[in-house]
Structures are given as structure tokens and as C-alpha cells.
Amino acid sequence: MPQPSGPAWVAQFPGSKSVDDLLPAFRDKVRAFISKLSDAGATVSIGATYRPPERAYLMHWCCQIAGYKNKAGKAVVVPASAATPMPGVDIDWTHGGSAAAAKTAAAQMVAGYAIRYPAALVSRHTQRRAIDMTIAWQGTLSITDFAGTTRAIATAPRNGSNPALVAVGKTFGVIKLMSDPPHWSDDGH
């Protein structure tokens, strides 16, 4: 019997924060980049790597039902009845037809997942090709790129959005998605 949506679902189908769960080729690039960041004195905190498809499904539909603003700033809300089923996830998005209860439960899930951007059904995370990581440092970061060239990054911001750091990451094949502060992948998506 389907269980109503809500915060209890957030603990189901946990995601990973382990670099080991990335595809081997990308995993090796990420490890090399993180190693150079650490050697240079930066701190790296990993928020997510692999996201099981079931978790992506839950995150996607709770965003749709709770509502979000698209890139144009327009509010988007999808009725709970529009949620497609997924094998192995016995969830009742509709709360027996109560639109208000469905929207409230979806919003609680969005908060529980700490979603900041609408979640995709299929993403580089579900494909094991992305990592969310927060990077920070003080002063000048002297980091060696993949070719062995040391680059001094003295400009702000002193985080993963710094264009000079983004360029260093790219030499490793770890590419920043600029619109999503912690997100890096093998192709920038």
C-alpha cells in the first residue's frame, strides 16, 4: 500500500558523499583535483556524489509539487496527480486527493533534502559523474594544475566559484557548473 509523501521519505534511498562511488575515470580526476586542493591548503567538504535514481525521483517530484521558480523567475507548481510512478517507490504523492496536504508534505521533503535548485530525474549525480563540494581557502592559494604548473590564486571569491580555480579544475577534467555553487562534473552539467 502506498505511503503518503512527507519528511519520512527523505531518509529512504540515501545518497553518497564518497568519491569512491563515482565512475572510475571521473573518480580518479576528482581525487587528483582534491589532492592538489588539499596540498595547497584549501578545505574541501563533499556534500554529494552518487544519487540513487529513487532518491532523484523523490527529490524531483517533491520540488515539482511544492513549487519552485524557474530560470525566468516564474512560479512552477505541478499537481501531485501528475507525478509518475516509479517501480520500487511506493509513495502516494496525492494524499488521497488532498492538494493542500500533498503540497505541504512535498515542501517538507524539499526542506528535508535541503534542495536549493529544482532536482532533475536524471542528472550527472545519478550517472555517477558529478560531485557537490564546497571549497574554501584563506589568502593566496598556490595550486598545481594537471600539467604541473603552479598557479597562484589571490583573487576573491575564495571558494569553488573563483574563475581561476574553475580553470584549474578544468585541467583535471573536473568542470564547474557556475549556476550551482557546489556542483562539479565531468562535462559541466
What is the reported pTM?
0.88
- Residue 32 pLDDT exceeds 90: yes
Per the structure, the complete domain to which residue 160 belongs is given by: 22-51+129-185
Residue 169 falls inside a structural domain: yes
- Summarised one tens digit per residue, pLDDT across range 118-137 is 889 999 999 999 999 999 99
Residue 47 falls inside a structural domain: yes
pLDDT band for position 71 (cuts 50, 70, 90): confident
Residue 1 falls inside a structural domain: no
Total number of domains constituting the chain: 1
Rounded to the nearest angstrom, the gap between the alpha carbon of residue 54 and the centroid of all alpha carbons in its chain is 15
Residue 59 falls inside a structural domain: no
Are residues 131 and 185 in contact, defined by beta-carbon separation less than 8 angstroms? yes
pLDDT band for position 26 (cuts 50, 70, 90): very high
Separation in Å, CA 61 to CA 13, 56, 105, 151, 175: 15, 9, 11, 43, 27
Amino acid type, 44? V
Residue 16 falls inside a structural domain: no
pLDDT band for position 165 (cuts 50, 70, 90): very high
- Residue 70 pLDDT exceeds 90: no
Residue 31 falls inside a structural domain: yes
Are residues 165 and 142 in contact, defined by beta-carbon separation less than 8 angstroms? no
Determine the average pLDDT of the residues in 16-24. 98
- Summarised one tens digit per residue, pLDDT across range 54-66 is 999 999 999 999 9
- Summarised one tens digit per residue, pLDDT across range 94-117 is 999 999 999 999 999 999 999 988
Q: Which sign, positive or negative, has the C-alpha torsion 13, 17, 20, 22?
A: positive
Residue 17 falls inside a structural domain: no
Q: Please tell me the predicted confidence (pLDDT) of residue 67.
A: 95
Residue 103 falls inside a structural domain: no
